[in-house]
Amino acid sequence: MPTIIDGRKTSEQIKSEIAAQVSEIKAKGGKIPHLAAVLVGNDGASQTYVGAKVKACEQVGFESTLVRLEETVTEGELLKVVQDINQNPAIDGLIVQLPLPNHISVEKVTNKIKPEKDVDGFTPANVGRMTLGWPAYVAATPYGIVELLKRYAIETAGKHCVVIGRSHIVGSPMSILMARNEYPGNCTVTLTHSRTKNLPEIAQSADILIVALGKPGFVTADMVKEGAVVIDVGIHRVEDVSKKSGFRLIGDVKFEEVATKASAITPVPGGVGPMTIASLLHNTLLAAEGKIYSK
């Protein structure tokens, strides 16, 4: 049996570490970290995610502000909300939940966020700093994966890491982080995508396989080397009449069959997913402490 990399347990551990740090800050009369989340419209998944982020803030003792805006809000109005939060000294971290309605430019809104408060790590300033290896807010999913590799003491130096998927929020930053000259990192990295030739052969040569392409059950056992570490970023609902909800969650990896070959693997649910909120809290704590931009 492979090691099951338990993101749920790890994220709870991180949350309790953060809660302990908040207690210390409180005891010393320091600044309580404060996260502002902006949610536009009524998208069900976005409401669930933002609700979970606000709840996690409460759990660890952070302050939080949820700003809800109508689907019909103009780009200018949203930019003004972001600007007001940028200038509000009480607020340390700011996230604008994506996706945004089509009439609003994600690039413009992202670029409006003050890099010092960009705890999602989405602004060009933070992506650039991360790429240079400078102190930076790293996006929640890549940071969560790095933290799992660390806490499970997965060896990375000299390994071949294959990343499937080149999205701005997962695949691309993950490839950069795994190639960095530090732990976890020092991998030889191959970043693969929809135009890659011989993807199954390349995946098969991975010591560490990070799958973030958004296709349910894409990675099968024949694409995985014996003893590989497999990180599954996918999350999909599939119909399941045996469940009360009528569905179950699966990843980009066929877990049952791949688990027979992997040395360690993240499950879905309970792997990478729960780590993203822990990462956001971590970044918000850094923001309150002013740690990233002081360097």
> Which CB atom, from 64 or from 97, has the smaller least distance to ligand GUN?
97
- Report d(CA 26, CA 15) in Å as an integer: 16
What's the sign of the alpha-carbon dihedral 202, 208, 213, 214?
positive
Q: Which is nearer to ligand GUN, 97 or 175 (CB)?
A: 97
CB 112 within 8 A of CB 86: yes
Query: Could you tell me the CA-to-CA distances from 82 to 72, 76, 102, 110 in Å, in that order?
Result: 16, 10, 18, 9
Q: How far is Cα 230 from Cα 253, in angstroms, rounded to an integer? A: 9
**Region near ligand GUN per CB under 6 A, out of 96-104, 108-116, 220-228, 248-256:** 96-104
CB 75 within 8 A of CB 104: yes
53 labelled catalytic: yes
What part of residues 136-195 is at the interface with ligand GUN (CB under 6 A)?
Answer: 140
Nearer to ligand GUN, 96 or 149 (CB): 96
In the numeric block, which tokens belong to residue 138? 């790293």
92, 120, 232, 252: the active-site residue: 120
21 is catalytic: no
Give the 3-state DSSP-derived string for 154-168, with helices as H, strands as E and coil as C: CCCCCCEEEEECCCC
Q: Which of residues 106-125 bind ligand GUN (CB under 6 A)?
A: 120
Size of the site for ligand GUN (CB under 6 A): 6
∠229-200-204 over CA atoms, to 5°?
35
Which window, 57-65, 70-78, 93-101, 105-113, contacts ligand GUN (CB under 6 A)? Answer: 93-101
Q: Which is closer to ligand GUN, CB of 262 or CB of 286?
A: 286
- The neighbour count for residue 28, using CB atoms within 10 Å, is 8
Q: Which two tokens stand for residue 107?
A: 């690039």
Q: How far apart are CA 291 and CA 134, in angstroms?
A: 12
Told to check if 97 binds ligand GUN by CB under 6 A, we report yes
Residues 98, 179, 202, 235: which binds ligand GUN (CB under 6 A)?
A: 98
List 60, 73, 96, 174, residue binding ligand GUN (CB under 6 A): 96
Output the residue with the shortest Cβ distance to ligand GUN: 98
| Between 35 and 229, CB nearer to ligand GUN | 35
Active-site residue (options: 92, 97, 112, 117): 97
Applying the rule CB under 6 A, the residues between 46 and 85 that interact with ligand GUN are: none
Is residue 204 part of the annotated active site? The answer reads no
- Footprint of ligand GUN (CB under 6 A): 95-98, 120, 140
